[in-house]
Structure 1
Amino acid sequence: MNNSEARQQAVRELYNTYPFPPEPLLDEPPPGYNWRWHWQAAYSFCAGRKPARNNPRILDAGCGTGVGTEYLLHLNPEAEIYGIDLSEGALEVAEKRCNQSGVRQNHQAPVTFQRLPIEQAAELEGEFDLINCVGVLHHMPDPVQGIQALAKKVAPGGLFHIFVYAELGRWEIQLMQEAIALFQGEKRGDYVDGVKVGRDIFGSLPENSRLVQYDKERWSLENHRDASFADMYVHPQETDYNIHTLFELIDASGLEFVGFSNPPVWDLERLVGKSPDLIERAKGLSERDRYRLIELLDTTISHYEFFLYKPPFETTDWSDDDLLSEAIAEVHPCLNGWPSKAFFDFDYRLTKVTDAEYDFMSACDGQCTIASLLENTEFSLDDVRSLQKRQLIMLSLA
């Protein structure tokens, strides 16, 4: 067994010991939405318009215990869905999760789980319109090999959603990982012992320890489960990124960068908006340098989540009045509390709409053109653009 195979086996043993994520199994469909796992919402975010069809092929690469897969089934009833993972223990939980909640029985298309390392993704039949790979690539012995294997399975015009760790926001975690490993010595690789040692360290350190404070502020609610603690502090394989190394990984995929799927985090205004001079100076920076500047100024950023696409991928610019007038509008599918003038938007932010916005959204039935909806109203095309930009409505070409 070579070094890469040994590290892969170590990861497999961790997740067989502590299947992850450890969220409890439900007897009903999962609550709420994650719009990144909703095909129509994700495509609309990336392309500016609703996809032409509702029956994509979706791959959940590194599905673990099926928390994301369950949402993919629930939110995309017509999609053909595959879930692959390295750990047979995690896959067993994933199967049980999707069966127990009823989402699998209610799904209209095939659903397949398979134990398959991501490096061997070529063995999967066909290509996928959407690949979801959350929290996985950074745990692979060779993330470049992983992203390249999956990139080859993205269909032309398809999307690839990725989540990987950021090094600056995980600095304290890295220190604790190394400390636990030193305390474990020859017992490193015994994950139950690693959790015991880690909890003992946290329980013994002074209250004012930076490691203790950081864990309490950021992770303690999540890490009360041993599986979460082990995944964070006792993992045998982890690669953390910065903007420079992240885009090296992206460039190696051969795919194109759409953007981060949490754009408010990457808005420089939220950090130095009080200084018009700094904002003006930053305008001369490249996109990647602006991203680097943001992560240098906000060291709480602990991960990157983003979309890639495989060309050809067409986006729609609704700045043309004639084009927008002929578009079809419908309310975004990932709003919680709609219909109401106050509800949670696609990112679970409390949102309030005006009377005019509420009336327009209520009329968006997915059939009428924008022009017909605007007849005899004072609502304007710019008002429609505002709703679309805020992801409160989706637009499609007539």
Structure 2
Amino acid sequence: MPDSQAINQAVANLYNTYPFPPDPLSDLEPPGYNWRWSWTAAYNFCTGRKPEAQDIRILDAGCGTGSSTDYLIHLNPEAEVVAIDISQKALEVAQERCRRSGVIAKHNKPIEFRQLRLEEVPEQLEGQFDLINSVGVLHHLPDPIKGIKSLACKLKPGGIFHIFVYAELGRWEISLMQKAIALLQGDKRGDYRDGVKIGREIFANLPENNRILKQEKERWALENHRDESFADMYVHPQEIDYNIETLFELIDASGLEFVGFSNPQYWQLERLIANSPELKARANELGDRQKYRLIELLDPTLTHYEFFLARPPLTQVDWSNEDRLKQAVPELHPCMQGFPSRNFLDYDYQMVNISEAEYDFMQACAKNSEQQSVGELITKSKLDLAGVRALQARQLIVLSSNFLT
């Protein structure tokens, strides 16, 4: 069995051959947004409120070619950002990406890029971080539990940890293709260019009704036209896929609290069994983790888990208290496109339609330079407190909670 050092070197060799992700470099700021990389948006998702500080420390743990780092720098202008990766070639691309986009030149806080394995973080990085981002990394480690512990120990109390790892059920066909390529490569396994060549030859010759080919065409072909993406998906030397049971073993090992999945719509059991009172009654007897397992068994399309952990204390706000809500200062959610308009894209790139009263209130939030409270703004609005709660629940506005400090 290969040792950890050999596995890490094989992973580094892959990404030195095919730096990932292969997003093109640009002289423009990052297009759009990923709300999970905005401190305000992510913190609001986890707690229901705006964070008290913006001058934070962020660790991008496994930054690859810097697409995530570019966003983290751009969306968090007051933050110190440290980006690490195992691949020197990927880091070079990451630094060039962030230089060309202009985000570094506009940033007033330190930005640091370091070639570093996740397992080395406790000894090599000083201090702790308010936000740790680790997307598509832990499942490529020889020991993911050691990796998540290494990162967890660097998370500040009250900090949040954003993680993305693979799900086994939605990647079943991918796993089969990985094994097929490895068999045909034989002694050439580890030659990633040969692996891509063999993989493409297989797809070119499979019959049209083949399940693996159909899945590739329906879900992955658009991104896999790039060899970097094809290699990352099909010829990776190290991959551990999870199910709900093994995922929570990983989470529990971190010593952190599970806050929630960042795609909550998928985890609504109602969408699968809403028409059966008997099934709903039986499901209500299950614990949360059992419900999650039931959902992924009934809808095995999920290819990855994306979620937040936290180190206590992380205070979540209940805005059902009227006095509390009236004291809050509202502002627009930082991740939206197309506002001001009654039809625009929300934080999750979903089209939303708002009423005239909601539009007027959001306009008042946008112009709220005097930091007026919800209670003050609704006296001039047709929107009531229930309407304000609805805007907050849809993450169209963010509320402060100064009463907690």
Instruction: Report the TM-score when normalising by structure 1.
Output: 0.98
Answer yes or no: is 1:254 the counterpart of 2:255. yes
CA offset digits 1:153-201 (Å, max 9, x no partner): 0011100000000000000000000000000000000000000000000
After superposition, residues 4-83 of structure 1 pair within 5 angstroms as: 4-83=4-83
RMSD value over aligned CA atoms? 1.1
Listed one character per residue, the Cα deviations across residues 259-299 of structure 1 (whole Å, up to 9, x for unaligned) are 00111111112222233332232111100011001100111
Q: Partners of 1:189 and 1:91 in 2: how far apart?
A: 21
Aligned to 2:88: 88
Deviates more, 1:349-358 or 1:376-385: 376-385
* Counterparts of 2:349 and 2:86, CA distance in 1: 32
Which digits, 9 at most, give the CA deviation of each residue in 1:81-139, with x for residues without a partner? 00000000000000100001111111121000000000000110100000000000000
Where does residue 204 of structure 1 map in the other structure? 205
State the distance in 2 between where 1:120 and 1:236 align. 21
> Match of 1:125?
126
The equivalences for 1:302-321 within 5 A come to 302-321=303-322
Query: Is contact 2:361–2:381 with CA below 8 Å preserved after alignment?
Result: no
2:126 and 2:196 map into 1 onto residues whose CA distance is: 39
The equivalent of 2:394 in structure 1 is 390
Q: Which moved more, 1:352-361 or 1:372-381?
A: 372-381
Q: Counterparts in 2 of 1:1-398, with a 5 A limit?
A: 3-122=3-122, 123-364=124-365, 365=368, 367-398=371-402
Query: Percent same amino acid among aligned pairs?
Result: 63
Q: May I ask how many residue pairs the two structures share in their alignment?
A: 398
Counterpart-to-counterpart distance in 1, 2:285 and 2:341: 42
Uncovered stretches (5+) of structure 1, i.e. residues with no partner: none
Q: In the aligned structure 1, how far is the partner of 2:96 from the partner of 2:248?
A: 37
Residues 259 and 310 in structure 2, CA contact (< 8 A), matched pair in contact too: yes
Distance in 2, matches of 1:175 and 1:377, equals 58
Change (3 A) 1:2 1:170: closer
State TM-score, norm by structure 2. Answer: 0.97
CA distance in 2, matches of 1:266, 1:239: 22
Q: Which amino acid aligns with 2:39?
A: W
Partners of 1:118 and 1:378 lie apart in 2 by: 52
Cα contact 2:74–2:103 (8 A) shared by 1: yes
Give a deviation string over 1:354-384, Cα, whole Å, max 9, x none: 0010011111126111111111444211111
**Separation in 1 of the partners of 2:36 and 2:251?**
19
- State whether residues 134 and 163 of structure 2, in contact with CA within 8 Å, keep that contact through their aligned partners in structure 1: yes
Q: Distance in 2 between matches of 1:302 and 1:235?
A: 16
Deviations along 1:287-343, whole A, 9 cap, x unmatched? 001100110011110100000000111111111111111111001010110111000
Moved more, 115-124 or 264-273: 264-273
Q: Which runs of 5+ in 2 are unaligned?
A: none
Q: Distance in 2 between matches of 1:300 and 1:276?
A: 25
